[in-house]
Amino acid sequence: MKKIKIDLEEKIKASHLKDAWENIGIHHHHGINIPLFSIHSKDSCGIGEFFDLKLLIDFAQTIKMDIIQLLPLNDSGYESSPYNAVSSLALNPIYISLKKLPFIKSDKQMQLELSGFRKYNYLQKVAYNAVLTAKLSFLRKYYDRYFLNFKSSPSYQGFLKEGTWLQDYGLFKCLKEDYAHKGWFSWEEKHKNISEKEKKSLLKEKKKEISFYIFLQFLAFSQLEEVKEYAQQKKVFLKGDIPILISPESLDVWEGRKNFNLNYCAGAPPDQFSAEGQNWGFPIYDWKYMEKTNYAFWSDRLKTAGRLYHLYRIDHIIGLYKIYAIPRSGEGKGRFIPDDQDLAITSGEKILEKLTSFSTMLPIGEDLGANNESIRKSLSRHAIPGTKIPRWEKNYLKDDAFIPYDLYNPLSLTCVSTHDSETLALWWKNNPIEAKAFAQAFTMEYKKHLTHHLRYQMLKASHNSASLFHINLLPESLALFEDLVWDYPEDERINIPGTILPSNWCYKMRPSLEHLLEHDDLKNVMRDLAA
């Protein structure tokens, strides 16, 4: 084992990600994964907020875990899915911590306004649209009262200079408002295909409203950057999430159409999870054009993320090598682009090396899916960790035998479930044959229902795998205590992919963050998991 460790360190230090690894440390890391919208504290206004993360950081430090993984935090407008953002750079203003805004404590009228958010805190699910509407209303009043106190400050002026994208973002948000939040495809021609003359005119005409949206970004970035600094002080790393694909209705596509091939939608071919395949509706990239611009789109995106996070998850990293493209016209079948595996590896490595050079953040790839072993080997050669879900890690050449935890590639992250998968309890309940086989393979005593002991065994094993990273959804650990989860396992699920359901993206953790910090039994067992 010692020689393997030495060889691994030498491999990492010889890679182009040497600095990113040294920032994190070449050793085992343990962490928790939770959407920001799912946490809450006594100061929350209907949804998890940026400064709530300080309490979560305190909790992570207490249980001796050093990574907090989040879902994307980009502005997604009135779309609750964090993977369907209207901007790849802007943060979602719904996460601004209202009670911690400057001047609020001494403003009795604004304090009274804040009391109206209490009703949302008592709901079992996040009332996303209602909370966003209420927050934007509150923030408009806050802008009218206090913007002049910020306008000339060095911090605000510095933010404007750094954010060359802010004016276009503000204009796009104004137009979305004018068109009742409809996609830009349905806008009038003069706005759908806007000229520089029309844009210049609108920037002047809508100056105040644009200023409001820019101000919200200033508040959001200021708060999250403060959270990152707090995390550093506590020796905890923030892990962001970079969705590989971009909404067709986003600002990025509206103003940068040359970066995309709008003739195709990205998706997935038929597989064990979907007999008919999946059409995600997102456009694919025009990598040849991006190369001509030195990948400016990705450079801006990753440099901006680097202000907020220490490491990041690349969602569907396989898509940087090859993407399953479906004709948007509906005519013809889907196919991989490129469809030659050798070409996919060559082009993917070229893209990855370029993209990962834009930031000192360490990337971790979501490389789940069948028949991608050559891509996983490519990621490993470049010292980029992949992802291991024990129930899906099988040797398909040996009767689908489960792969032992200690045989995982150290350049990986182990987790028992994801935000898109069934929870452990639901998987165990809905797949008894597979669960029984899993228990047998790992010498566990099978029970019909996932018992406390079985859950603990699986979590403990995931934190002791050969992977260098061990990050589990926090609710999976909370479920070790019945009083910390909802009565029905279905209420613990975050999202069901390929569906549009009111239950998607509105999961709220049952206990408050203050409760977690006071729960000695939970803290003790989670310390033990990472020991």
Tens of pLDDT, residue by residue over 222-250, are: 999 999 999 999 999 999 999 999 999 99
Q: What is the C-alpha to C-alpha distance for residues 531 and 528, in angstroms, rounded to an integer?
A: 5
For the segment 324-335, what is each residue's pLDDT rounded down to a tens digit?
Answer: 999 999 888 899
Residue 157, both tokens? 């002026």
- pLDDT for the residue 350: 97
Indicate if the pLDDT at residue 1 is higher than 70.
Answer: no
Residues in a beta bridge with 32: 68, 472
Measured at the CA of 304, the angle between CA 72 and CA 411, to 5 degrees, comes to: 65
Pairing of strands 260-268, 278-285: antiparallel
Count of residues for the chain?
Answer: 531
Indicate if the pLDDT at residue 123 is higher than 50.
Answer: yes
Provide the edge-to-edge strand list for the sheet that holds 335-337. 278-285, 260-268, 323-327, 335-337
For the segment 68-112, what is each residue's pLDDT rounded down to a tens digit?
Answer: 999 999 999 999 999 999 999 999 999 999 999 999 999 999 999
Q: What is the C-alpha to C-alpha distance for residues 297 and 226, in angstroms, rounded to an integer?
A: 26
Q: What is the C-alpha to C-alpha distance for residues 282 and 218, in angstroms, rounded to an integer?
A: 28
- pLDDT for the residue 4: 53
Coil, strand, or helix at residue 229?
helix
Average pLDDT across the chain, whole number: 95
User: What's the Rg (C-alpha) of the chain?
Assistant: 23
With bands split at pLDDT 50, 70 and 90, how would you rate the model's confidence at 278? Answer: confident
Indicate if the pLDDT at residue 212 is higher than 60.
Answer: yes
Q: What is the C-alpha to C-alpha distance for residues 413 and 27, in angstroms, rounded to an integer?
A: 12
- pLDDT for the residue 508: 98
Please report, for the chain, how many H helices and E strands are present, in that order. Answer: 22, 14
Q: What is the C-alpha to C-alpha distance for residues 89 and 73, in angstroms, rounded to an integer?
A: 10
Q: Which residues contact 64 (CB under 8 A, 6 or more apart)?
A: 30, 527, 530, 531
For residue 357, which amino acid is it? S
